[in-house]
Amino acid sequence: MIQVETKFCFCSLALGKKYRSLALLLARDIAKYSPNTYFVILTDKPTDFTQQENVLAFKHRQKGVKCYHDKRFVIAKALSLYNSCIFMDADMRILAPVPQNIKWIQEPGITARGCEIMTKKHAKAITGNAKERLRREFKVTQNAADKLNLEIENPNIKFVYEYLFAVTKDSGREIEFLKQWDKIAPYFELNGVYDAEGNAIGLAAAKASLPVRWSEMEGISFFKDRTELIRIKKGQSKMHEMSIYFEEQRMIEHAKGSILEKVILKISKNIRYLYSVLHLKVFALSNFDFYYRS
């Protein structure tokens, strides 16, 4: 059993067998490298984590059309239990001991491993040189900012790369941040932007006056497949040293299943998608001006 509780926790979202299995790997890393820290998980099957003593698993059913914006419920649950939380995608790993006295997590607001000024993030879309999908994402972000009476050109409004970020309580601003994210998330999904939730995070934080800052997050040595491939390409990492992590992730993500299982999974996903879209459109009628009026 964990003997000492810290003032922060790790947290993640694990929906579906694949992500539950990946989250278990991360949970074991946390138990090894941060043994006094709990891992808060929102998941569709909490019983998968009963043998992992450092995990606090809570039942969660997907709320959004897609699961990306459901991360806000993870943050809300974690902050109901701790003063600070470090969100990590379920497919990440921790590679080295984590210090108990992390300085950057003591700063109120959002600390992100990756963030940038919103207009810089969307620079290509603004000049028209981006793909249609990215231009649409920026247009929806811009419209959402207008509805919130925010100037998207404000350098304090940042896009947050959501794979690794921390939130520390800030005199209630974190509560307002979550309320604003609750409001903004359906707007993005209603307009067909289901991912790139870093836009909503940045707008919600700005509306709540919750500070957002970049940090190298010293003390968190992590593995993220796409990030690691970039490091390897730059000579900052070595494939032979990281191969075990790539292989463990590949075995989970590409686990073989029967044709029947795949068919059932695809049908259930389609049904859930159609139901979620219909539910979203009906829900949005409760605030017609915000969600439907131009």
Residue 281 lies in a domain: no
- Report the DSSP pairing between strands 164-168 and 84-88: antiparallel
CA 170, CA 105: separation in Å to the nearest integer? 12
Q: What is the reported pTM? A: 0.93
Backbone torsions φ then ψ of 85, nearest 5 degrees: -140, 150
| Chain mean pLDDT for the chain | 94
> What pLDDT, in 10s, does the model give residues 219-277?
999 999 999 999 999 999 999 999 999 999 999 998 877 888 888 888 988 998 999 99
Q: For the segment 27-51, what is each residue's pLDDT rounded down to a tens digit?
A: 999 999 999 999 999 999 999 999 9
DSSP bridge partners of 40: 11, 56
| DSSP secondary structure letter of residue 9 | E
The three-state secondary structure class of 279 is helix
pLDDT over threshold 80, residue 1: no
Query: Is 53 domain-assigned?
Result: yes
CB of 76 closer than 8 Å to CB of 155: no
Q: Is residue 31 part of a domain?
A: yes
> What is the per-residue pLDDT across 169-196, written as a single tens digit (0 to 9) for each?
999 999 999 999 999 999 999 999 999 9
79-91 pLDDT, tens digit per residue, is: 999 999 999 999 9
Asked if residue 135 is part of any domain, the answer here is: yes
Pairwise CA distance, residues 56 & 130, whole Å: 42
Please report whether residue 271 resides in a domain. Answer: no
| 23 domain residue, yes or no | yes
Measured between its terminal Cα atoms, the distance across the chain in Å is 54
How many helices and strands, by DSSP H and E, does the chain display? 11, 11
User: Kind of pairing, strands 93-94 and 109-112?
Assistant: unpaired
Q: Does some domain include residue 3?
A: no
How many domains does the chain contain in total?
A: 1
Q: How far apart are CA 70 and CA 272, in angstroms?
A: 15
DSSP string, 47-107: GGGTT-TTEEEEE----SSSSGGGHHHHHHHHHHH-SEEEEE-TT-EE-SPPPSS-SGGGS
> In CATH, what number is assigned to the domain containing residue 112?
3.90.550
* 259 domain residue, yes or no: no
Phi, psi angles (nearest 5°) of residue 110: -105, 130
Domain containing 190: what range? 8-223
Torsion of the alpha carbons at 291, 203, 139 and 289, rounded to the nearest 10: 20
Closest CA to 195 of 65, 93, 74, 291: 65
